[in-house]
Amino acid sequence: AYSAAPTRLTVLGSTGSIGVNTLDVIRHLGGRQRFEVMALTGNGNIELLAAQARETGAQLAVTADEKLYGALKDRLSGTSTRVAAGQSGLQEAASLNAEWVMAAIVGTAGLAPTLTAAARGATIALANKECLVSAGKLFVDAVKSGGGKLIPVDSEHSAIFQCLEERQREAVERIILTASGGPFRAYTRDEMADVTVEKARAHPNWSMGLKISVGSASMFNKALEVIEAKHLFDVTPEQIEVVVHPQSVIHSMVGYADGAVMAQLGSPDMRTAIGYALTYPTRPALPVERLDFARIARLDFEAPDETRFPALRLARLALERGGQQAAIMNAAEETAFDGFVDGRLRFLEMAEIAEAVMESMTAWPDASTIDDVFAADLEARRLATIEIGRR
């Protein structure tokens, strides 16, 4: 295990929305003067990856795409940054002795490297919720046995983490996740039937990667977050509530046994959660826009509608059934998301695919190893692909 103030850092998924924000936080907190960047990883955007490696002086830059190895190497010639590619490259990045690792790869592609970093005791700043949803308790146990910490970066879970007082843990009654409701909050199901990817990705409050933006529109992202909360905070599904709050000013809340509710508020800027994960238990100074309450004027709340947004119902179903249903739901939906993005599926069909695959895998055995998780993930993707072909 490492101490609370890290100097050696790795960013898995540095070229994405969270990755870019992470490097911005690092820049604000002193950059190369204060931190040593061990590894940065990306996928297709090697121009950005190379620029990031040059700026930070990273020891290692990795593209997940093996075909881009040569091109990345060319772009980093004359620097001291080593270059690697593919799964072995990602594993190498996770293995370097960074004390703090930002897990910001999107989807279950992030699971293997994040586990490697967890196993050697690094503090894991977790944005990549899919890996926790899929591997669940195995993931939490890997962090525990590695001796490191797991600090949430997802804004809701960071908010809850900030509202949880360790000495009052026994008195936690409920966790209240806020949801913006996304761009289709006020749409009927009929209106949602034909929406385009462009419409679905247009989040009203946050600027984020494509997958999570579409997931906010379908509320599938909130479904993942319910499962994420269960594993992070060791609460029962019944203790987790979701409330739609269109302004996204309250990032989430914790309700205690005495009736008190603690909330964390802020601008929709991921740098607050990233900075907190980096310097916890202290807070860094960051140039995030300050809330102007008189201008905000009001905060609204409404109950989520599980008929229009079936993803929330699927998350409850996955938790109720247990076993590998969460991993199956996640993998099927990830496959369905690809289908929606490349035009093979309509928006509302994503949840239908996820539910059909969950249904056909109810007898799938529980996971006792990570390989079992990968097996369920693979089978769910295979079934989802067949199901998409039928539409």
Q: Binding residues for Mg ion, per CB under 5 A?
A: 154-156
From the list Mg ion, ligand NAD, none, partner contacted by residue 222 (C-beta under 5 to 8 A by kind): none
**Closest approach of Cβ 80 to ligand NAD, in Å?**
22
Is 302 within any annotated ligand binding site? Answer: no
**Closest approach of Cβ 129 to ligand NAD, in Å?**
5
Is 180 within any annotated ligand binding site? Answer: yes
Q: How many CB atoms lie within 10 A of CB 141?
A: 12
Residue of 37, 46, 109, 367 that binds ligand NAD (CB under 6 A): 109
From the list ligand NAD, Mg ion, none, partner contacted by residue 226 (C-beta under 5 to 8 A by kind): none
From the list ligand NAD, Mg ion, none, partner contacted by residue 129 (C-beta under 5 to 8 A by kind): ligand NAD
Interacting positions 225-254 with ligand NAD (CB under 6 A) = none
Binding mask 43-82 for ligand NAD (x = CB under 6 A): x--------------------x------------------
- Contacts of residue 5, defined as CB under 8 A and 6 or more positions apart, other chains included, come to 279
Could you tell me the two tokens for 54? Answer: 């040059």
Is 328 within any annotated ligand binding site? Answer: no
Q: Rule CB under 6 A: is residue 2 a binding residue for ligand NAD? A: no
Nearer to ligand NAD, 23 or 104 (CB): 104
Nearer to Mg ion, 129 or 381 (CB): 129
Asked if 358 and 318 touch (Cβ cutoff 8 Å), the reply is yes
Interacting positions 279-298 with ligand NAD (CB under 6 A) = none
Q: Mark the segment that binds ligand NAD (CB under 6 A) among 10-18, 68-76, 306-314, 357-365.
A: 10-18
Interacting positions 118-137 with ligand NAD (CB under 6 A) = 127-130
Smallest CA-to-CA distance from 130 within 192, 215, 60 is with: 215
Beta-bridged to residue 158, according to DSSP, are none
Nearer to Mg ion, 130 or 154 (CB): 154
Smallest CA-to-CA distance from 91 within 120, 71, 56, 58 is with: 120
Residue of 227, 240, 270, 384 that binds ligand NAD (CB under 6 A): 270
Q: What is the 3-state secondary structure (H, E, C) of the chain?
A: CCCCCCCEEEEECCCCHHHHHHHHHHHHCCHHHHCEEEEEEECCCHHHHHHHHHHHCCCEEEECCHHHHHHHHHHCCCCCCEEEEHHHHHHHHHHCCCCEEEECCCCHHHHHHHHHHHHCCCEEEECCHHHHHHHHHHHHHHHHHHCCCEEECCHHHHHHHHHCCHHHHHHEEEEEEEECCCCCCCCCHHHHHCCCHHHHCCCCCCCCCHHHHHHHHHCHHHHHHHHHHHHHHCCCHHHEEEEECCCCCEEEEEEECCCCEEEEECCCCCHHHHHHHHHCCCCCCCCCCCCCHHHHCCCCCECCCCCCCCHHHHHHHHHHHCCCHHHHHHHHHHHHHHHHHCCCCCCCHHHHHHHHHHHHCCCCCCCCCHHHHHHHHHHHHHHHHHHHHCC
Q: What is the 3-state secondary structure (H, E, C) of 227-260?
A: HHHHHHHCCCHHHEEEEECCCCCEEEEEEECCCC
Binding mask 178-217 for ligand NAD (x = CB under 6 A): ----------------------------x-xxxxx-----
**Closest approach of Cβ 67 to ligand NAD, in Å?**
13
- Nearest residue to ligand NAD, scored by beta-carbon proximity: 16
**Closest approach of Cβ 128 to ligand NAD, in Å?**
4
From the list ligand NAD, Mg ion, none, partner contacted by residue 109 (C-beta under 5 to 8 A by kind): ligand NAD
**Closest approach of Cβ 164 to ligand NAD, in Å?**
18
Is 3 within any annotated ligand binding site? Answer: no
Nearer to Mg ion, 6 or 182 (CB): 182
Nearer to ligand NAD, 326 or 356 (CB): 326
From the list ligand NAD, Mg ion, none, partner contacted by residue 127 (C-beta under 5 to 8 A by kind): ligand NAD
Residue type, 4: A
Q: Rule CB under 6 A: is residue 275 a binding residue for ligand NAD? A: no
Is 17 within any annotated ligand binding site? Answer: yes
List binding-site positions for NADPH.
15-18, 45, 128, 130, 209
List binding-site positions for Mn(2+).
154, 156, 225
**What residues make contact with ligand NAD under the rule CB under 6 A?**
13-19, 42-43, 64, 104-106, 109, 127-130, 154, 206, 208-212, 270
